[in-house]
Amino acid sequence: MNPLDWFLNQARRPRGWAGRLLVRGMNRAHGQMTDWALSQLSVRDSRALLDIGCGGGGALLRLSELAPQAELHGIDFSPQSLSVAARTNRRLMEQGRVLLREADVSDLPYDDGRFDLAVAINSHYFWSDLAEDLREIVRVLQPGGTVALAGGEYFGGKHDTRNRRLASNERMNCQTLPELRDTLCEAGYSNTEIHEEWNRGWFCVVGRKPVVDTEESLRPT
């Protein structure tokens, strides 16, 4: 396997000691981008939020300060990622504020309407079926709840050439930002927003679960 394939396989699902090292490195390498992405969101009043593909748990630690009243949940399908996330958030886990579970985004182990905010940072381009997985996320969001996909790999940005090389041979599912927004709309989100930090090559695309108009839904058809 060539080094790029090896690296992206590890980023997709970290394994073994090398995976643990990589995840620890990602906590550092993704810190500034994560701060920027979270600054695009209204996080402060969140009561229950979910970090999907939480990796080493760096975003959960940041969110614990930005959303002081929130229960913070993280899922990842890599046990290695979760063990680093548990270390990163040990004190918050002892306090019962951070809860981690091994799970796949395609089958979230939560009731409908459990969260007001879901974030996925540098993760969605590895999911098996982005549109379907976004539908699974909309299920666990409350009406009006927010989903945010953020990262540095997308088409049309400052690092387009690099990202097209990374995504070649279906190694990653990269899209342009308008395409990503269309995928959110197809999956049932509304009030979408696109944020881009061109100079750094970062994006954060946001969608909201529609609030059902109860009068409308109760009206006989």
Ligand X SMILES: C[S@@+](CC[C@H](N)C(=O)[O-])C[C@H]1O[C@@H](n2cnc3c(N)ncnc32)[C@H](O)[C@@H]1O
Residue number, 155 or 210, with CB nearest to ligand X: 155
- Asked whether the beta carbons of 100 and 85 are under 8 A apart, the reply is yes
- Asked whether the beta carbons of 137 and 115 are under 8 A apart, the reply is no
Query: Which residue lies nearest ligand X, judged by its C-beta?
Result: 55
Of 7, 9, 12, 193, the one binding ligand X (CB under 6 A) is: 12
How far is residue 204 from each of residues 19, 128, 162, measured CA to CA in Å? 25, 20, 19
Tokens 């593909």, residue located: 53
20 contacts ligand X (rule: CB under 6 A): no
Residue number, 46 or 122, with CB nearest to ligand X: 122
Shortest Cβ 211–ligand X spacing (Å) = 27
**Which residues, 97 to 136, sit near ligand X by CB under 6 A?**
104-105, 121-123, 126-127
Which listed range, 50-58, 63-71, 188-196, 202-210, lies at the site for ligand X (CB under 6 A)?
50-58
Residue number, 104 or 179, with CB nearest to ligand X: 104
Beta bridge partners of 50: 73, 118
Q: What's at 9, amino acid-wise?
A: N
14 contacts ligand X (rule: CB under 6 A): yes
Which listed range, 8-16, 184-192, 197-205, 211-219, lies at the site for ligand X (CB under 6 A)?
8-16
Of 22, 37, 45, which is closest to residue 116 (Cα–Cα)? 45
Cα–Cα distance for residue pair 109/34, rounded to 1 Å: 25
Shortest Cβ 124–ligand X spacing (Å) = 8
The b/e string for 139-166 (b: 16+ C-beta within 10 A; e otherwise) is ebbbeebbbbbbbbbbeebebeeebeeb
- Asked whether the beta carbons of 102 and 79 are under 8 A apart, the reply is yes
46 contacts ligand X (rule: CB under 6 A): no
Which listed range, 38-46, 70-78, 108-116, 164-172, lies at the site for ligand X (CB under 6 A)?
70-78
Shortest Cβ 29–ligand X spacing (Å) = 7
Cα–Cα distance for residue pair 79/17, rounded to 1 Å: 11
Rule CB under 6 A: which residues touch ligand X? Answer: 11-14, 26, 30, 53-56, 58-59, 75-78, 81, 104-105, 121-123, 126-127
